[in-house]
Amino acid sequence: MAIEKHKWYIDHTSPATAHIYGIDNYVKSYKTDYQQVEIADTGLYGRILFLDGKVQSAETDEYIYHEALVHPAMLMSPAPKRVLVAGGGEGATLREILKHPDLEELVMVDLDQEVVELCKEYLTPWHRGSFDDKRVKLLFMDARKYIEKEQEPFDVIISDIPEPVEEGPALKLFTIQFYETVKKSLNQGGVLALQAGDTSIPFIETFSGLHKTICQVMPLVCPYRAFVPSFNTDWGFILASPDQRKMPEKEEIDNLIKTRNLDLRFFDGITYTGMFNLPKDIRKILSEETTIIDDGNLITIY
């Protein structure tokens, strides 16, 4: 094994730990007005997008993350016609939402236009032309400001924004004030889904804090997770709704996937069952969490 041939990219997960990726080729390194963007080809995970030193998405397994983020919420909505994505720069979240046949309008609001343009050019396997779909409305602005001003409600809102890194652009999209605004922007029966950070015990603070915070706003809050190999951890997600309801059974999920003719690689009824059944230690942490994230008490990761 020719370890010495690689350049090494170090994603610091804490002051004491890191994930290291062997780089074959640096495709792009660019500083936008908001964040550092790096796109690199790796021997194991294919092309990877890094933002502010953190891996965001890898070519070989991005489908796991994006199917896990999108389809539980979309299938909870009876016939989602109008959907909002906060963030979503790579375009893969759009790709998955566009698979649903009743969709009429898909609004994507991303703060960093330069990141989106780089993804359009260099991450074609992610978006597969989704930005050009006639149902997509692409806006470059702060997603919170957009939601606060938008009058027409949505059937589904998906928050696909980077982790809340210190001094990062997304910190106020993880607060109780933001989720209160989201709640008002959902139709009856509407659904929110968000990426919610690492669920491994040493790094679970963001996941548990977000869960506690959203529980103050929504009557239905369902945490779940999926293992993403390029993240080297189980990644957390949260599904929430302003309407209390019964979660579907796995047979219902499979029937909906078949009815909507969804071509999926990762997500089905069995996967759904496993994702939403968290282990005892994580359930205990969630039940004991007291942190409520607000505009005056922001959460950040290292």
Tell me the catalytic residues: 160
Whole-Å CA distances, 140 to 35, 106, 187, 282, 287: 15, 14, 24, 36, 37
Inter-residue contact 268 to 257 (CB < 8 Å): yes
For residue 134, what are the contacts with CB-CB under 8 A and spacing of at least 6?
Answer: none
Whole-Å CA distances, 119 to 42, 57, 124, 278, 297: 17, 11, 7, 33, 32
Classify residue 247 by its DSSP letter: P
Query: Helix, strand, or coil here: 295?
Result: coil
* End-to-end CA, the chain: 32
Inter-residue contact 137 to 146 (CB < 8 Å): no
Inter-residue contact 48 to 224 (CB < 8 Å): no
